[in-house]
Amino acid sequence: MEADSGALVAGIDSVARRAGFSLLYDEHATEVYRFVHQRCRDQALAEDVTQDTFLTAVRTVEDPADVTAGWLIQVARNRLLDVVRRQARYAGKLRLVASGVQASDEADAVTEELRMDDALGQLNVDQRLVLMLHYVDGLTIAALADELGRSIRAVEQLVTRARRNLRRELENTDA
């Protein structure tokens, strides 16, 4: 009888979890989609990245109440960056094959991009996020502070630490 009640509780928890993620999707899917679409201007890609973002939430988060809109946007942004990088590498390889010439400058650029990706991957999530939002998306320190819910001084310090750590990681890859 106890085994039956344990299965019943697990079933109820599973139903509640699914309902929680369904509600989470209903509340934030449009916002995530809009964020991605504004950056890529591709409806199909925006839909795929949005779907992948929510699948990531389902796979990695136990309680849907722990998921915030900011976390979803960060995941969506990272997924979109991954797709764009993959597409750029693929396009670069196609250009190299199509040209049929030695393209050491392009190869150097690809190598440098991979080196930068590796160095960024060594930073913690906050540092990687502020660098990407500040230098790639062009957000000001004030806009970053507002977006992250931190003071301007705290964001300035975070950007400074992130730059310093990125430099250190890049120097380590040179050695």
Pick the most confident of 33-37, 89-93, 167-171.
33-37
Query: Mean pLDDT throughout 157-172?
Result: 88
Could you tell me the pLDDT band of residue 150, with boundaries at 50, 70 and 90? confident
Topology of the domain comprising 102-175? Arc Repressor Mutant, subunit A (1.10.10)
Domain chopping of the chain, boundaries? 1-100, 102-175
Virtual torsion, Cα 118, 119, 124, 130, nearest 10 deg: -110
**From CA 68, how far away is CA 87, in angstroms rounded?**
29
Nearest to residue 20, comparing CAs of 31, 9, 28?
28
pTM assigned to the model? 0.50
Q: Residue 101: what pLDDT?
A: 43
Could you tell me the pLDDT band of residue 108, with boundaries at 50, 70 and 90? low
**From CA 58, how far away is CA 17, in angstroms rounded?**
9
Q: Residue 98: what pLDDT?
A: 42
Could you tell me the pLDDT band of residue 175, with boundaries at 50, 70 and 90? low
Query: Mean pLDDT throughout 155-169?
Result: 90
Per-residue pLDDT for 52 more than 90? yes
Q: What is the mean pLDDT of the chain?
A: 79
- Who has greater pLDDT, 31 or 132? 31
Kindly report the CATH class assigned to 1-100: mainly alpha
**From CA 93, how far away is CA 88, in angstroms rounded?**
9
